[in-house]
Amino acid sequence: MCGRFTLTSPAQALEELFETEVEPFPPRYNIAPTQPILIVIGAERRAMLARWGLIPAFAKDPSSLPLMFNARSETAAEKASFRAAMRYRRCLVPADGFYEWRKLGKGRSQPFFVRPADGRPLAFAGLMETFLAPDGSEIDTAAILTTGANETLRPIHERMPVVIGRADFPRWLDCREVGPAGVASLLRPAEEAFFEAVPVSAAINKVANMGPEVQAPAVEKGERAQEIAPAAQGTLPF
């Protein structure tokens, strides 16, 4: 699952990665569902904002639907809610990493910031739909595709977002010529060395916390932050 992520890279870095114009924006350390997110859509690569939480075009009352901020890549091409978007409106979701929680038992969990080991921005596989409300207004919405976690991240959570590599951007975004079968091979876990996971402060648990403090290293009782810093090198403290 991917329920929170971050995008703090400057617009220039995103323009270089996606080869399209990106309006400058403030760093976002704790992006949550229902908030606006940046997406890149179309073979011509147009950057735009969309609500994180896909609303199918056929929906009549969005309030009666579950919040679909993730879509399982294994079934997206068949499910009614995602089938049309998977065929005609695939998109990329720029990010610098995401957050996941490892269950510890008795209602406790440890949050982790999962980030690319090379420190560069990345692209999640996404789906986009435009919902036409009864009053005539339009709402652009999006979901992030997930897949099974790789061995590195499985101790934290069984799912992870699908990452689309730069070389595969053209195939993923070409919805005119390339159907779901043509991109099925891209819907796989990231390579084992791609991500590193860092235990972070419980501040990330609150959506209202939007500053860099949510990425502060976790400190267990009697420990200092630097004593768990090896997790930042890709070794999980289990």
Residue 226 confidence (pLDDT): 34
CATH number of the structural domain spanning residue 129: 3.90.1680.10
Instruction: Identify whether 162 is part of a domain.
Output: yes
Range of the structural domain that residue 98 is part of: 4-233
Residue 222 confidence (pLDDT): 38
Instruction: Identify whether 30 is part of a domain.
Output: yes
Residue 190 confidence (pLDDT): 97
Tokens found for residue 228: 């768990």
How many CA atoms lie less than 13 Å away from 96 in the CB half-sphere? 18
Tell me the pairing of strands 36-41 and 70-72.
unpaired
Instruction: Identify whether 206 is part of a domain.
Output: yes
Radius of gyration of the chain (CA): 18
Residue 82 confidence (pLDDT): 97
Residue 64 confidence (pLDDT): 83
Instruction: Identify whether 238 is part of a domain.
Output: no
Query: Active-site residues: which are they?
Result: 2, 100
Q: Which of 167, 201, 200 is nearest to 186 (CA)?
A: 167
Residue 150 confidence (pLDDT): 97
Residue 4 confidence (pLDDT): 97
What lies within 8 Å, CB to CB, of 124 at 6+ separation is 2, 5, 92, 93, 95, 98, 144, 145, 161, 162, 163, 164
In the block, tokens 């991240």 appear at 153
Q: Which of 152, 48, 135 is nearest to 100 (CA)?
A: 152
Instruction: Identify whether 214 is part of a domain.
Output: yes
d(CA 32, CA 156): 19
Residue 220 confidence (pLDDT): 59
Q: Which of 51, 5, 66 is nearest to 214 (CA)?
A: 5
Phi, psi dihedrals of residue 77, rounded to the nearest 5°? -70, -15
Instruction: Identify whether 140 is part of a domain.
Output: yes
Residue 194 confidence (pLDDT): 97
Tell me the pairing of strands 46-52 and 138-148.
parallel
pLDDT-flagged residues of the chain (< 50) = 221-238
* Count of structural domains within the chain: 1
C-alpha distances out from residue 196 to 14, 21, 126, 210, Å: 21, 29, 22, 22
